[in-house]
Amino acid sequence: MNLHEFQAKELLARFGIPIPRGRIAENAAEAVAVAQRLGLRRCVVKAQVHAGDRAANGGVRFATSPEEAGELADQLIGRSLVTAQTGPVGQKVRWIYVEEAVPFEISLYCAVVVDRTRGELLLVTRERTDARPSDHGGGAGQARGEVVPLRIVGEAVDGDFERAAGAFGLAPPQKSLLAKRLSQIAEAAISLDAMLVEISPLVLSETGDFVALDAKVTIDDHALFRHPDLAALRDVGDAGGSDPVALAADYHQINYLKLDGDIGVVVNGAGLALATLDLLHEAGGRPANFMDIRTTATSLDIAYAFGLITANPRVRSVLVNVHGGGMQRCDTIADGIGIAVRKTGCTVPIVVRLAGNNAEFAANRLRSYGVPAIETADMWQAANTAVELSTRKAA
């Protein structure tokens, strides 16, 4: 789950990371009022979209008075901002963030990121050689910097923050302060279950402190059950936010992504789901969706997910490829399918391959629900059968 800049900054401030004074606004009048209330003369007006490279594309602008801030807000709100990360359509700007302009001397890129290949957290720091005194967010030029592995010890985070801070030739007091800020960024990443906490730039201001002028935070969707307050920050209406269908599936403990094919796919486990898509392609078919049923899903959650598939008018067959494990049994998934078929009166051919925990019992459950499923012995047979049925249905 990606957060807007203003949301990310509010969260980081809780961990002691200084941020400029600022407020969100959704129209020009509010932008003027924010600048006046905060006593800002020179201020920054920033489009709030889930994309980087805003400054280079007119999404970050500077005003010299509250009135000019209102004019700039009027130019941004309601329009689409196109950057290298949005695609050609861009993202509609619903809000702007008005904050004080902060002069600075040194500009850094700092991030804590999950390294998926190595299975560890990394602290990444770089000096931004492209930064200008008027810069309040943008690219990240690379010069000196460090990549430092982080370890979680109990509820704390351990890393060589002094080494990371020492890469920039700072005076001892500044180096010590930067090390503190880096540790706070790492603490925020751990506490928030974040996949990414990125500050670019983190600047040494004229007042002598390190301030986050821009911030990006990505929360692990699978950890949101531990953070209901953060889940409430999800932006459904934003063009750059979550797809409403995928978001609804997420609430039902399903990872779901609609594709452009005609074979619906019901699978538990991301790895098995990807293998199933590969098998369908190999057999000459085109999957209509990606699906990963989480271990926390109930039969009613699965019924909802099955309904998403059969509601797609392009679906001509459904492949159920399930391997029951210790936390998600085959019969739980079978019950969900049975509930959905009875509720929707689904007539699309269903091909089933069941293995693992309660596989035989699950097959019996499907029969008891009256689901006209075609049972197959292995994944390859299941994939070929689903492709054949989709072709026959189309003909």
d(C-alpha 99, C-alpha 18), whole Å: 13
Bridge partners, residue 61, by sequence: 45
The DSSP bridge pattern shows strands 210-212 and 120-127 to be unpaired
Tokens of 34: 């924010």
Rounded (10°) CA dihedral 330, 336, 338, 344: -150
Task: Establish whether 5 is a catalytic residue.
Answer: no
**31 and 45 in contact (C-beta within 8 Å)?**
yes
Q: Which residue in the block uniquely carries the two structure tokens 């560890």?
A: 120
d(C-alpha 144, C-alpha 177), whole Å: 18
Which residue in the list 99, 198, 256, 304 is annotated as catalytic? 198
**Omega before 201 within 30 of 0, i.e. cis:** yes
Task: Establish whether 109 is a catalytic residue.
Answer: yes
Could you give the count of Cα atoms lying within 13 Å of 363 in the half-sphere of its Cβ?
15
Rg (alpha carbons) of the chain, rounded to whole number: 25
Q: Which residue in the block uniquely carries the two structure tokens 């936010």?
A: 241
d(C-alpha 1, C-alpha 294), whole Å: 17
Which residue in the list 109, 146, 256, 304 is annotated as catalytic? 109
Question: Which of 9, 100, 98, 92 has the alpha carbon at shortest distance from 51?
Answer: 92
- Helix pair 359-368, 330-344: axis angle to 10 deg: 20
Burial class (CB in 10 A: 0-12, 13-18, 19+), 188: buried
Which residue numbers are catalytic?
109, 198
